[in-house]
């Protein structure tokens, strides 16, 4: 699956029912799910929080994955710490989500994992609110 980013201006935004902490972004041929803030992981952690399963299951349910569905899992961080550390952390977090998806029966060959570190901020890193928005995992689902 080719790597590409989808400009947020071309996506319609919704909140995933039952999660409260997951934003659904829909485009013509793609649906992305973005966690907000630190829903899935603690600070500087790459182990899923126990409550992360609720948000991830809501995404999986909403995606209505079929046998040809592909998942692209992207990890993103704020700019606290070094770029190298954040790149590694984002990769480990994305892999943890991919491992969870595989544990729920998604064929690992249909999952792509990418860590972006602090290179694709969603908001300004100069505020706590902005940094919280930048700490996220995005799951893009395509058929």
The overall average pLDDT reported for the chain is 86
Q: Looking at residues 86-93, what average pLDDT do you find?
A: 98
Q: Looking at residues 123-131, what average pLDDT do you find?
A: 95
Q: What domains are there in the chain, each with its CATH number?
A: 11-137 (3.30.1330.60)
d(CA 80, CA 102) in angstroms, rounded, equals 30
Q: For residue 109, is pLDDT > 70?
A: yes
**CA angle (90, 132, 59) in 5-degree steps:** 65
d(CA 92, CA 19) in angstroms, rounded, equals 23
Using one digit for the tens of pLDDT, what is the confidence trace for 30-71?
899 998 768 899 989 999 999 999 999 989 988 877 788 999
């Amino acid at each position: 699956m080719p790597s590409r980013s989808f400009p947020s201006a071309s996506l319609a935004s919704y909140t995933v029912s039952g999660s409260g902490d997951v934003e659904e972004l829909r485009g013509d041929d793609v649906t992305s799910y973005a966690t907000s803030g630190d829903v899935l992981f603690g600070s500087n952690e790459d182990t899923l929080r126990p409550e992360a399963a609720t948000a991830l299951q809501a995404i999986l349910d909403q995606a209505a994955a079929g046998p040809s569905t592909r998942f692209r899992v992207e990890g993103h961080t704020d700019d606290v710490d070094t770029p190298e550390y954040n790149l590694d952390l984002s990769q480990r977090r994305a892999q943890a989500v991919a491992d969870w998806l595989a544990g729920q029966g998604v064929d690992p060959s249909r999952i792509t994992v990418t860590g972006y570190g602090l290179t694709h901020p969603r908001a300004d890193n100069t505020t706590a609110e902005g940094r919280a928005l930048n700490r996220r995992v995005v799951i893009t689902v395509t058929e």
